[in-house]
Amino acid sequence: MEKSADEHVEFQEKPDHKGSVLEQDALYQAYASKDSEWHQAMTKRLLRKVDWHLLPFLILMYLLNFLDRNNLSQARLGTLEEDLGMGGTDYNLATSILFVGYLLMQLPSNLILTRVRPSLFLGSAMAIWGVISACQAAITSFSGLIVTRFFLGFVEAPFFPGAVMLMSSWYTRQELSHRIAWFYAGSSLANAFGGLIGAGVLGNLSGAQGIAGWRWLFIIEGCITVGISLLSAIFLPNYPASTSWLDEEEQGYAQWRLMHDAGEADEVGSTSIKEALALVFADKRIYLFILLQHVSLLSQNFQYFFPTIVQTLGYGNVETLLITAPVWIATFFVSLLVTWTSGKTNDRSIHIMCLMTVSVVGGIICTVTTNIGAKFFAMFLMPMGAVSAYQIIIAWVANSFPRPLVKRSAAIAVANMIGNTASIYGSYMWPASSGPRYIPGGSATAAIAFLVAVLAFVIRLVHAHMNKRLEEEENSGSQLSGLSELETRSASFTSIPILDFSQVKTSKSAFLEDLRDALVNVGFFYLRNAPVPIQIQDDFTKKALELFDLPLEKKLEIEMVNSPHFLGYSRLCAEITALKPDHREQFDFATELPAPGPDEPLYRNVVGPNQWPDEKAVPGFRKAFDDYLSELSTLAESFQILIAEALDLPSNALDQVFDKPQQHKLKLIKYPAPTTSDNGDSGFQGVGPHKDSGFLTFLLQGTPHHGLEVQNKNGTWISAPPIPGTLVVNIGRSLEALTGGICTATTHRVSLRPENFESSLGSLGPRFSFPVFQGVSLDLSADKISLQIPDSVRSLVKDEKVKSDAEATFNKMFHGCIGEGTFVARVTSHQDVGQRWYPEVLEKALKGQKDFLV
């Protein structure tokens, strides 16, 4: 019984969503500012339409896909075997050979899939299998049948992954699994219709025009398939942007949702299948699940022989097929019900055990009795139990290997592939010679169904045991990693996680878990729904742009070199990072604080009063700035607590780290488009590879340009494009130092490739970005503040060796006094300021850099 040979579609990348950066930006603007209630209502409105337009047609296609594969069992009730001179296990070979083609095509079809539009792909595949299916009518020999069945399997294989792929351009990952459950349930209906159509054809057309009934069956069903495949060009949508049944707002929103969901998809696409498989096989439970899925599929093999078995009830062919219809309709409703209760009660194993018991009883009754009423009853019991249980098993596999995502995909794929080989040999359990009672098949099915129940119970025990151990170890505070060796091997992330701040209220523990992972293994994350009123953000952005528009002489009035506190305006290329000038122009402002007294350590000079622009030149700037920095300071403060909690420390553990008041910096940066790209692959240096100095950085990307890049632990650069409604948050050297390196300050840069400044509608103009650097108390040093980070958090660090292009001179410095590290970093970045105010420090620091270089 085939149901899901194809589920490794999770390896597919999502199709590209067309649309220029500018168009995307318009979407960003439109949707980012809405609140979560609006998003919920909009999602509901959209899903209602998409469900009705997409699912029925796809289910119809799946129904035909299924029908064309399984109608051999109805054809057998006609004169198929007689006409083709078949006997013994010939029919079983004809059934199983289809799965050879079906399984062989898995890989190639998944490769093709990534390159074609889903609706075209699905429509063409369907037309071809429809033609081959109809051609079966012309077969005159058994060998002809075998060859045709092999190819039928081959061309039917791409449908399922293609359909899931199409759905994935409409549904988010989370929405998808529920839709796939409906999709599966639809196959029960296919079985029902198969019986009805078969009955109609064999009953009315046998011998019509001198053509055997089974040949008519293939002709009619093949032609229906081809007909529907042509309609797919009209009815099957491709992508949200080109769909007439959505209004403009819905089209935009549908795209916008998927752009958000795409982050994870990239991660899937770029992790090698080999790596994913290694992860899966390191978890011993996978062997149990593979076995479970395999025997579960084996326990459903009666389906191919169903019409034949029902025939033993003693009715004629037509009545037999009519009888099977209600069986499948009942199964359909039962499976909808039990997948629902299983989800509601969060139970899998007991559901499976109960359902399989129903199937065992069915198998036993079927074998031991010849009483027609009892046998008919058994016909209902077998599929109701086994088919419904299978749907729960699929969900169980997916839920048992939740993280990382690639592991889940691989687990599903492996369990399905190996599981489905049951369809190749399972059909031999039902040789025609064993009818009418089919004692070997019936009793073996009952035994196998029992085995499914036993395995479900074993897995339940294994999980219970694991949970208990976890609890004990947590209680005793022992050093539990809970991770297998393979899982700890690498945290070289391929995408940047997105955290949702609204979860702090709704499900804080989930938020903290994601935060913990981001802190120890990525060092970067997007933060959605940060509590910063959009109006304040917009006003600030507007005023910032006005500031950059001032004539140069106005800006030079507040040039940074005038101030010993590293605050003020820096011209293009004035700042130096990784020993090279950055191609950007900027204003550095900070929480307004007095300059340090003459007796205070020199490094305290990174704090001091701002140089404000002339209020008349940009009226309202100071207020807009203060409002924004004040919001961001509040947000930063809430992270003092969240980070402590994420690291399993008391929530006030980091209080000692911050001054009252604490200086935070807000930098306004403009990156003009480069005139040439003379910097090789990485493009022109907007800002060179570096780690920020502070605790956390909260970055607002003001324009839709790509260019911000983050270096993962392998040294690979990962793009961090702007995502609407989010801030980019990253760890600075101070937090890294305070946690003894448990939290990672991740190296990042801005690359100015000319293409980052272009969209299909023309030039994007300069890139603007606005980072807020959260400060810490400057007198601290890592050894003075000893945070006792629990082993349970330490053990989550997956990759100790980190490749970084950031300057290493500062690595040690930050482990001493944080103020000194920050001060030296500032002097070397702003050498004009250093030269004027701190020439000795600059000289020493430059020498330090040189020593480091030789």
Residues in contact with ligand AKG by CB under 6 A are 667, 669, 687, 692, 699, 701, 708, 748, 750, 769, 771
Cβ proximity to ligand AKG, 3 vs 748, nearer residue: 748
Query: Restricting to residues 725-764, which ones interact with Fe ion according to CB under 5 A?
Result: none
Least Cβ distance, residue 829 to Fe ion (angstroms): 11
362: partner contacted, choices Fe ion, ligand AKG, none (Cβ within 5-8 A by kind): none
Both tokens of residue 451?
């085995």
Cβ proximity to Fe ion, 539 vs 692, nearer residue: 692
CB atoms within 10 A of CB 503: 17
From 837, 558, 802, 609, select the one nearest 689 (Cα to Cα). Answer: 802
Least Cβ distance, residue 261 to ligand AKG (angstroms): 23
CB atoms within 10 A of CB 189: 19
Least Cβ distance, residue 727 to ligand AKG (angstroms): 11
236: partner contacted, choices Fe ion, ligand AKG, none (Cβ within 5-8 A by kind): none
388: left (phi over 0), alpha (psi -120 to 50) or beta: alpha
**Is 6 a binder of Fe ion (CB under 5 A)?**
no
Report whether 801 contacts 715 (CB < 8 A): no
708: partner contacted, choices Fe ion, ligand AKG, none (Cβ within 5-8 A by kind): ligand AKG
Beta-carbon-side half-sphere exposure of residue 213 (alpha carbons within 13 Å) = 22
Which positions ≥6 away from 6 have C-beta within 8 Å?
106, 157, 159, 160, 161, 164, 416
From 305, 448, 435, select the one nearest 379 (Cα to Cα). Answer: 305
Peptide bond just before 237 cis, omega within 30 deg:
no
Cβ proximity to ligand AKG, 24 vs 701, nearer residue: 701
Cβ proximity to ligand AKG, 74 vs 701, nearer residue: 701
Cβ proximity to ligand AKG, 130 vs 689, nearer residue: 689
From 750, 753, 642, 762, select the one nearest 696 (Cα to Cα). Answer: 642
606: partner contacted, choices Fe ion, ligand AKG, none (Cβ within 5-8 A by kind): none
Stretch that binds Fe ion, among 61-69, 121-129, 592-600, 692-700 (CB under 5 A): 692-700
Distance (Å, whole) CA 264 – CA 590: 35
Three-class SS state of 690: strand
Distance (Å, whole) CA 48 – CA 50: 6
Least Cβ distance, residue 700 to ligand AKG (angstroms): 9
Least Cβ distance, residue 767 to ligand AKG (angstroms): 7
769: partner contacted, choices ligand AKG, Fe ion, none (Cβ within 5-8 A by kind): ligand AKG
φ/ψ (deg, to 5) at 731? -85, 140
Binding mask 638-677 for Fe ion (x = CB under 5 A): ----------------------------------------
DSSP at 779: T
Cβ proximity to ligand AKG, 517 vs 692, nearer residue: 692
Least Cβ distance, residue 543 to ligand AKG (angstroms): 18
Stretch that binds Fe ion, among 252-260, 330-338, 382-390, 686-694 (CB under 5 A): 686-694
Cβ proximity to ligand AKG, 620 vs 765, nearer residue: 765
181: partner contacted, choices ligand AKG, Fe ion, none (Cβ within 5-8 A by kind): none
Binding mask 29-68 for Fe ion (x = CB under 5 A): ----------------------------------------
Bridge partners for 569 per DSSP: 559, 587
From 553, 549, 590, select the one nearest 568 (Cα to Cα). Answer: 590
The residue behind tokens 């780690």 is 691
DSSP at 717: E
1: partner contacted, choices ligand AKG, Fe ion, none (Cβ within 5-8 A by kind): none
Cβ proximity to ligand AKG, 328 vs 625, nearer residue: 625
Distance (Å, whole) CA 852 – CA 854: 6
Both tokens of residue 736?
């890294």
Least Cβ distance, residue 98 to ligand AKG (angstroms): 55
Distance (Å, whole) CA 558 – CA 111: 58
Stretch that binds Fe ion, among 281-289, 525-533, 684-692, 772-780 (CB under 5 A): 684-692
Least Cβ distance, residue 597 to ligand AKG (angstroms): 29
Least Cβ distance, residue 584 to ligand AKG (angstroms): 7
Least Cβ distance, residue 773 to ligand AKG (angstroms): 7
Cβ proximity to ligand AKG, 349 vs 495, nearer residue: 495
Cβ proximity to Fe ion, 221 vs 736, nearer residue: 736
Beta-carbon-side half-sphere exposure of residue 549 (alpha carbons within 13 Å) = 9
**Is 709 a binder of Fe ion (CB under 5 A)?**
no
Least Cβ distance, residue 541 to ligand AKG (angstroms): 14
Cβ proximity to ligand AKG, 154 vs 526, nearer residue: 526
110: partner contacted, choices Fe ion, ligand AKG, none (Cβ within 5-8 A by kind): none
**Is 692 a binder of Fe ion (CB under 5 A)?**
yes
DSSP string of 414-467, one letter each residue: HHHHHHHTHHHHGGGGS-GGGTTTTHHHHHHHHHHHHHHHHHHHHHHHHHHHHH
Q: Where are the alpha helices (DSSP H) in 647-701?
A: none
Three-class SS state of 500: strand
CA quadruple 705, 707, 713, 716: dihedral, nearest 10? 120
CA 331, 333, 338, 343 torsion-angle sign: positive
Report whether 540 contacts 624 (CB < 8 A): yes
Cβ proximity to Fe ion, 362 vs 689, nearer residue: 689
In the chain, what is the straight-line distance between the N-terminal and C-terminal CA atoms, in Å?
68
Cβ proximity to ligand AKG, 72 vs 669, nearer residue: 669
Residue number, nearest CB to Fe ion:
692
| Three-class secondary structure assignment of 176-228 | HHHHHHHHHHHHHHHHHHHHHHHHHHHHHHCCHHHCCHHHHHHHHHHHHHHHH
Both tokens of residue 336?
């909808």
Cβ proximity to ligand AKG, 10 vs 575, nearer residue: 575
Least Cβ distance, residue 782 to Fe ion (angstroms): 21
Stretch that binds Fe ion, among 623-631, 673-681, 687-695, 715-723 (CB under 5 A): 687-695
699: partner contacted, choices Fe ion, ligand AKG, none (Cβ within 5-8 A by kind): ligand AKG
Cβ proximity to Fe ion, 692 vs 799, nearer residue: 692
Cβ proximity to ligand AKG, 69 vs 691, nearer residue: 691
From 702, 690, 693, 707, select the one nearest 665 (Cα to Cα). Answer: 693
Least Cβ distance, residue 71 to ligand AKG (angstroms): 60
Least Cβ distance, residue 588 to ligand AKG (angstroms): 10
Least Cβ distance, residue 751 to ligand AKG (angstroms): 10
Cβ proximity to ligand AKG, 420 vs 804, nearer residue: 804
Q: Which whole-number Å values give the CA distances from 301 to 295, 354, 643, 755, in the listed order?
A: 10, 19, 54, 56
Which positions ≥6 away from 809 have C-beta within 8 Å?
828, 845, 848, 849, 852
Stretch that binds Fe ion, among 15-23, 189-197, 231-239, 688-696 (CB under 5 A): 688-696
Least Cβ distance, residue 748 to ligand AKG (angstroms): 5
Residue number, nearest CB to ligand AKG:
769
Least Cβ distance, residue 770 to Fe ion (angstroms): 12
Distance (Å, whole) CA 44 – CA 326: 34
Residues that bind Fe ion (CB under 5 A): 692
